Amino acid sequence: TGVTVIKVEMGGPGSSPCASCKLLRRRCAKDCIFAPYFPPDDPHKFAIVHKVFGASNVSKMLQELPVHQRADAVNSLVFEANARVRDPVYGCVGAISYLQNQVSQLQMQLAVAQAEILCIQMQQEPNLHEVSTSLLLCYVEKEKMGTSFV
Amino acid sequence: TGVTVIKVEMGGPGSSPCASCKLLRRRCAKDCIFAPYFPPDDPHKFAIVHKVFGASNVSKMLQELPVHQRADAVNSLVFEANARVRDPVYGCVGAISYLQNQVSQLQMQLAVAQAEILCIQMQQEPNLHEVSTSLLLCYVEKEKMGTSFV
């Protein structure tokens, strides 16, 4: 009679707390902001964003977003956190640097190839009309080939 | 005679606390881990990494790195934090996605241009042996490119 029952709202009867609440050792409320994105069977996913961004920062970031954008935000935070753990000095920024270099190199190779095409065209054919027609046919053929490379 | 003097070690006589200690309202010790990278005249630089990663996480990350890599780590953290504030859903990962698309497009354009060069060469050159050799080389090149899509 003197006993007070404290009702704890959980994700559902028999459901285990989400990975975040498990790691933070707190009860997982029905409206837990982490629960939809950090299921209990993937503890690493939360552990890594917690390590890099901190649970309270992640919670704040999610709260500032509309619900339909939160899953994408969580995925990008997990990606960033993984990159930071793999490369503690440069993290994601290392990948950006690498890709920027790759873009520069490809732009240069493309410019060289296009210059080569122009050069061959000029050497090959003084009749510009004929050249442009055959080049057009060739381009259409190669476009088909190009897509199959992907 | 009953007065105890508490000596506070600062960055130097008359120097102001670093941007981090100023924001966190704590005294800036001589060996403050933030001081070399967050000068008092650039309060935004610390404010943004504090907002996204949290001061204690940044401090831990820096402590785990050798001194000569810490400036690079701070710069990449500042870059990441700025990207996250600008794009709260995708952050840096948005830039990575964009660059990956750009790389794919350029690889395709380059493949098309190189195929176009081959096509012109084939029209120009009736020697089939030479053509088949250059086609083979071209194929090998495209195969290499293909693997970099992954």
Backbone angles phi, psi at A107, to 5 degrees: -60, -40
Confidence of residue B13 (pLDDT cuts 50, 70, 90): very low
pLDDT for residue A104: 97
> For residue A71, what are its two tokens?
């899953």
For residue A136, the SS3 value is helix
pTM over 0.80: no
Residue B136 pLDDT more than 90?
A: no
Q: Do B89 and A73 touch (CB under 8 A)?
A: yes
Question: For chain B, how long is the longest CA-to-CA vector?
Answer: 106
pLDDT for residue A145: 55
- Å between A17 CA and nearest CA of chain B: 25
| Residue A120 touches partner B, C-beta closer than 8 Å | yes
Mean pLDDT of chain A: 82
Report which of residues B109 and B126 the model is more confident about.
Answer: B109
Of A110, A124, A147, the CB nearest to B124: A124
Average confidence (pLDDT) over A82-93: 96
pLDDT for residue B110: 96
Residue A140 pLDDT more than 80?
A: no
Q: Do B117 and A114 touch (CB under 8 A)?
A: no
Residue A95 pLDDT more than 90?
A: yes
- Å between B62 CA and nearest CA of chain A: 9
DSSP calls for A1-62: --PPPPP---SSTTPPPPHHHHHHT----TT-SSTTTS-TT-HHHHHHHHHHT-HHHHHHHH
Distance CA B41, CA B28 (A): 15
pLDDT for residue A120: 83
| Residue B114 touches partner A, C-beta closer than 8 Å | yes
Confidence of residue A119 (pLDDT cuts 50, 70, 90): confident
Q: What angle do CA A24, A50, A23 make, to 5 degrees?
A: 25
| Residue A143 touches partner B, C-beta closer than 8 Å | yes
pLDDT for residue A139: 54
User: What pLDDT, in 10s, does the model give residues A13-69?
Assistant: 447 899 999 998 999 999 999 999 999 999 999 999 999 999 999 999 999 999 999
Q: Which of A79, A89, A59 is CA-nearest to residue B77?
A: A89
pLDDT for residue B36: 93
Q: Do A121 and B116 touch (CB under 8 A)?
A: no
DSSP calls for A88-125: TTTHHHHHHHHHHHHHHHHHHHHHHHHHHHHHHHHHH-
3-class SS string, chain B: CCCCCCCCCCCCCCCCCCHHHHHHCCCCCCCCCCCCCCCCCCHHHHHHHHHHCCHHHHHHHHHCCCHHHHHHHHHHHHHHHHHHHHCCCCHHHHHHHHHHHHHHHHHHHHHHHHHHHHHHHHHHCCCHHHHHHHHHHHHHHHHHHHHHCC
Average confidence (pLDDT) over A1-13: 50
pLDDT for residue B143: 54
Q: Do A139 and B112 touch (CB under 8 A)?
A: yes
HSE toward the beta carbon, residue A5, CA cutoff 13 A: 3
pLDDT for residue B9: 44
| ipTM, interface predicted TM-score of the complex | 0.72
Select, from the ranges A10-24, A90-104, A128-142, B2-16, the one with the highest average predicted confidence (pLDDT): A90-104
Distance CA B94, CA A68 (A): 17
User: What pLDDT, in 10s, does the model give residues B66-125?
Assistant: 999 999 999 999 999 999 999 999 999 999 999 999 999 999 999 999 999 888 888 776
Q: Do B56 and A56 touch (CB under 8 A)?
A: no
Q: Do A139 and B123 touch (CB under 8 A)?
A: no
Q: Which of A106, A147, A110, A98 is CA-nearest to residue B103?
A: A106
CA torsion, ordered A121, A122, A124, A127, to nearest 10 deg:
90
Q: Do B57 and A51 touch (CB under 8 A)?
A: yes
- Cβ neighbour number for residue A53 with a 10 Å cutoff: 23
Query: Which residues 73-92 of chain A have a CB within 8 Å of chain B?
Result: 73, 75-77, 79-80, 84, 88-92
Confidence of residue A147 (pLDDT cuts 50, 70, 90): very low
Q: Which of B41, B35, B83 is CA-nearest to residue B58?
A: B35
Query: Which residues 55-74 of chain B have a CB within 8 Å of chain A?
Result: 56-57, 61, 64-65, 69, 72-73
Identity (one letter) of the amino acid at A44? H
Say if residues A83 and A95 touch (Cβ distance below 8 Å).
Answer: yes
Say if residues B148 and B107 touch (Cβ distance below 8 Å).
Answer: yes
pLDDT for residue B88: 96
User: What pLDDT, in 10s, does the model give residues B31-51?
Assistant: 999 999 999 999 999 999 999
- Å between A2 CA and nearest CA of chain B: 44
